[in-house]
Homo-oligomer: A and B are copies of this chain.
Amino acid sequence: MKVLFIGDIVGQPGRQYVAEVLQELLPEHKPDLVVANGENATRGRGLSSHSAEELYDAGVEIVTMGNHTWDQRQIFDFIDDDERIVRPANYPAGTPGRGFTVCRVGRREVLIINVMGRTFLSTIDCPFAAVENILKEHPHIKHIIVDMHAEVTSEKLGMGWEFAGRVSAVLGTHTHVPTADARILPGGTAYISDVGMVGPRNGILGMKRESVIRRMRTQLPAKFEVADGPRQFCAVMMDFDDESGRATRIDPIYRYEPDA
């Protein structure tokens, strides 16, 4: 089974570039499943139903989230009904939406889990225990993808090593910068600390860099807006063994447009 996982998609430029790149990638690579992190898809913060539809139209089948899940208030209207959207599973019991979803890919079921780190991020429940519990509820599923949305590398690596050999992939998101450590951990778990971002390449995390830097230097409030200019696309393409679910390959895909 071939799975394409796309990193945090930022704003209209990110959604648009995903559509453009997938038009080339899908016919060429024919992935069996396309997952993308959509927590920044709408104006850099959250996910509107319109943005979700755009991602689905582009070929994305499952959308994972993160700390920006609730930034577009509209999401409360559709997150309970749309089984393609997965928000961090370690939010408290009773949180709208779902922390994992199961989708059918050919004859196989794939379990997609989203969890969020706690260090410097959110005061929520343990992401390790959350994954553990979800795995226990689905002992028969062999193809399992964990989107570990976290700030620090130690927590992401911890998740990767703790579930190495027990899930098909642990993929980091949130920092918007792709890491160069993609590998197969012992037992057949595809791992990368951060998949990276899809969006404006010359901003800071996809946002206009002037405001971000001004705020850092002056400590005054600043309005952050999605940047424009050339765009980048960050994803990983993985192969999972059809029978065992073990990952046999993880290849980063990093494309970008040249500067004008």
Q: What is the interface of chain A, defined by CB distance below 8 A to chain B?
A: 70-71, 73, 91-96, 118-120, 122-126, 128-129, 151-155, 157-158, 161-162, 175-181, 186, 193-194, 196, 204-205, 209, 212-213, 216-221, 252, 254, 259
Q: Give CA–CA (A158, B177) in the complex, Å.
A: 13
Q: Give CA–CA (A205, B94) in the complex, Å.
A: 27
The majority secondary structure among interface residues of chain A is loop
Q: Give CA–CA (A153, B176) in the complex, Å.
A: 8
A126-B92, A193-B177 in contact; A212/B154 too (CB < 8 A)? yes
Q: Chain B residues with Cβ under 8 A from A118's Cβ?
A: 123
CB of A144 to closest CB in B, whole Å: 19
Q: Give CA–CA (A155, B122) in the complex, Å.
A: 15
B123 in contact with A219 (CB, 8 Å): yes
Q: Chain B residues with Cβ under 8 A from A205's Cβ?
A: 153-154, 157
A213 in contact with B178 (CB, 8 Å): no
Lowest 7 CB-CB distances: which A-B pairs, in order? A118-B123, A180-B180, A178-B180, A120-B120, A153-B177, A157-B204, A153-B175
A204 in contact with B154 (CB, 8 Å): yes
A252 in contact with B180 (CB, 8 Å): yes
A180-B196, A259-B186 in contact; A209/B126 too (CB < 8 A)? no
